[in-house]
Amino acid sequence: MNRHWLKLAFAALIVSAFLQTGCKGDGKKSISDDIEIPDSIFNDKPLMISKEAMEDIIDNISSPVEMAALLKSTGTPFSQKLLASTSRIDDLNTNFKQALNLGVYGCDLGYLNMYEKTGSVITNMTAIKTLSNELRIGQFFDFSTIKRLATNNENLDSLMYISVSSFNNMDEYLRQSNRGNISSLIVTGMWIEGMYLAAQVAKDAPQEEIIERIAGQKLVLNDLILVLKNYKSDANFADLIEQIESIKKEYEAVKITYEMAEPEAKEVDGMLIIVQNDKQHIDISDETLSSIIGVIESVRSKIINL
Amino acid sequence: MKRILNILIVVFIVLGSNNTYAQSDELVNVCALGIGNATYLKDYKVKLSASSVSPPSAKFNVIMNKGTMYKITVCNAEGHAGEAVVALMDNASTLGTNLKPDGTFVKAVGFQCTKTGMYSINVSFKDGKEGAAVAILSYINMK
């Protein structure tokens, strides 16, 4: 009888373990076979900021869809040549390179979805699938559904939702499973690519909204550097921090001032609409903008040619 | 025998918690369907216990961009008594909440942002009841 119960308990544990790993991947184990990001980075050394604070910061940074939406809303036409090539996937042979470029392709996916370029979505998704599988987080992407929606050009809102929520879920999982280093790289890649897209548009056809969005990212830079510095003992991270700090240096000339005022609120069709009356003035010279664009191009080039 | 039963209980709790995650993901999917003419950006899952003394709340920081109209939609999970109260904060000041003075709720909270910066979305449950809910942050294309 005891043996029967033992067998039953053992079977239940196996099923449980299988469900856990099958649904969510195998946590930090995937890092241990990556020679460039050893476990010691996050296991042996305390984080400079708390895990909660880091999650909070990372949550704030990635919104490639908003940048793409801004570009589209200003009437900027789609440009395939702005996107990162997916031909170098096989050269991305470490978790560091894979995670950074996964962020880049994730941002490009948002751009493609925004402009409803579903044909290119499949090529982009193939790259994302390869990289996310290498990083053992491929389970968060329902590739078959995304491919079906893209191929049939159907329900593009769903395509956008599935794409964005897949990245959100993947990011949440990475941080919960002590793989914040990978999460921080994906977010950095996304941010750089979003900035690159905006910078190229600003370079060719400067528009106030886009320039202000680029300049406003000054507020994000410190947080991004703070997160990356948690892993600065790794040479690759140290080099990346140096590159991001070179961007920050160019932002020093950007001045942001505020005029505060009381917000107004009114109910319209059952929805409360809050209108903020604060004003934000962003002062950025053509020279500063040009310098920022130049350094963004340089950093982005290094990432996609790692 | 008792030890084996304990193991089994732990296993079923683990399996049960997986189910809870699945349920919250399902609620996100359902809630995202109801955001109307807006584009999904993020979701925030909240589950809080009851407390009459100091009602617990969850706080999520988010950077919002100048020139963007945001929308926060809330969906309460079935089987929980609490109704989620979501408040949009700019530092310590409340910009607006989905709870009206008469105790009823608006369908969603919209926010026309004129200042890029850090804001926070606070979620609690009315009257300190226990509850589970999802808040979806989306943006509305104004052009």
- Residue whose tokens read 């969603």: B108
Q: Name chain A contacts of B17, Cβ cutoff 8 Å.
A: none
On the question of pLDDT at A252 being above 50, the answer is: yes
d(CA A165, CA A271): 24
Vertex A211 angle, CA A54 and B65, to 5°: 45
What's the pLDDT score for residue A23? 36
DSSP A176: H
Q: How many helices (H) and strands (E) does chain B have?
A: 1, 8
Q: Number of folded domains in chain A? A: 1
Average pLDDT, chain A: 84
Segment holding B119, helix H or strand E: strand B117-125
Residue A149: its pLDDT value, please?
84
Kind and range of the H or E element at A288?
Answer: helix A286-304
Please give the residue that has the higher pLDDT: either A16 or A229: A229
The pLDDT, as a whole number, for residue A105 is 96
Residue A149 · residue A108 · CB < 8 Å: no
Closest in B28, B39, B88 to A69, CB measured = B39
Alpha-carbon distance A244 to A181, whole Å? 16
Give pLDDT, residue A38. 45
- Report H helices in A115-217: 118-134, 143-151, 156-176, 180-204, 208-216
- Chain B nearest C-alpha distance from A151 (Å): 21
Predicted confidence (pLDDT) at residue A62 exceeds the cutoff of 70: no
CATH number of B2-140: 2.60.120.380
Q: Amino acid identity, residue A38?
A: P
The stretches in chain B having pLDDT less than 50 are 1-20
pLDDT at A11 over 70: no
Count, residues in chain B? 143
Among A197-201, A245-249, B58-62, the range scoring the smallest mean pLDDT is B58-62
Torsion over CA: B52, B53, B55, B56 (sign): negative
Are A168 and B118 within 8 A, CB to CB? Answer: no
- The alpha carbons of chain A give a radius of gyration, in whole angstroms, of 21
Residues of chain A neighbouring B88 (CB-CB closer than 8 A): 274
B52 touching chain A per CB within 8 A: no
Among B39, B114, B118, whose Cβ lies nearest the Cβ of A276?
B114
Sign of the four-CA dihedral A70, A76, A77, A78: negative
| Residues with Cβ within 8 Å of residue A179, at least 6 apart in sequence | A27, A28, A30, A31, A42
Q: Give A106-139 pLDDT, tens digit per residue.
A: 999 999 999 999 889 989 999 999 999 999 999 9
Tokens of A221: 């830079």
Instruction: Give the closest-approach CA distance of A36 to chain B in angstroms.
Output: 31
Residue A52 has pLDDT above 90, yes or no: no
A9 with B107: Cβ contact below 8 A: no
For A144-198, the pLDDT digits (tens) are 888 888 887 767 788 889 989 898 889 889 988 889 899 999 999 999 999 999 9
Q: What is the largest CA-CA distance in chain B?
A: 67
Least-confidence region, from A231-245, A266-280, B10-24 = B10-24
Interface test with B, best of A67, A73, A274 (most B CBs within 10 A): A274
Residues 6+ apart with CB under 8 A from A79: A200
pLDDT value, residue A46:
52
Task: Flag whether residue A47 sits within 8 Å of chain B, measured between CB atoms.
Answer: no
**What is the pLDDT at residue A219?**
87
Judged by phi (left if over 0) then psi (alpha if -120 to 50, else beta), residue A138 lies in alpha
Residue A227 has pLDDT above 80, yes or no: yes
Q: What is the per-residue pLDDT for B22?
A: 61
- Give the whole-angstrom CA distance, residue B97 versus residue B101: 10
Find out whether A28 and A177 touch, Cβ atoms under 8 Å.
yes
Closest CA to B57 of B109, B130, B108: B130
Structure pTM? 0.82
- pLDDT on residue A141: 87
Note whether residue A26 is domain-resident.
no
Beta-strand pair B131-140/B69-76: antiparallel
Is the distance from CB of A265 to CB of A274 less than 8 angstroms?
A: yes
Phi, psi of A187 (to 5 degrees): -65, -40
User: What does the DSSP 8-state code read for residue B77?
Assistant: P
Question: Is the model more confident about A48 or about A205?
Answer: A205
Given a cut of 90, is residue A279 above it in pLDDT?
yes
Q: In the block, which residue shows the tokens 């226990």?
A: B130
What pLDDT is recorded for position A7? 52
Please report whether residue A18 resides in a domain: no
> How far is the CA of B9 from the CAs of A5, A48, A72, A293, B12, in angstroms?
13, 38, 53, 58, 5
Residue A24, domain member (yes or no): no
* pLDDT of res. B59: 93
Q: How many CB pairs under 8 A join A and B?
A: 138
pLDDT for residue A3 is more than 60: no
The more confidently predicted of residues A29 and A242 is A242
Query: How many Cα neighbours within 13 Å face the side chain of A159?
Result: 25
Of A12, A212, A275, the CB nearest to B112: A275
Domain range for A247: 31-255+286-304
Locate tokens 């709870």: which residue?
Answer: B99
Locus of tokens 């395509």: A159
Q: How many Cα atoms are found within 13 Å in the side-chain-facing hemisphere of A152?
A: 10
**What tokens does A25 get?**
């991947």
Q: Are B34 and B138 in contact (CB under 8 A)?
A: no
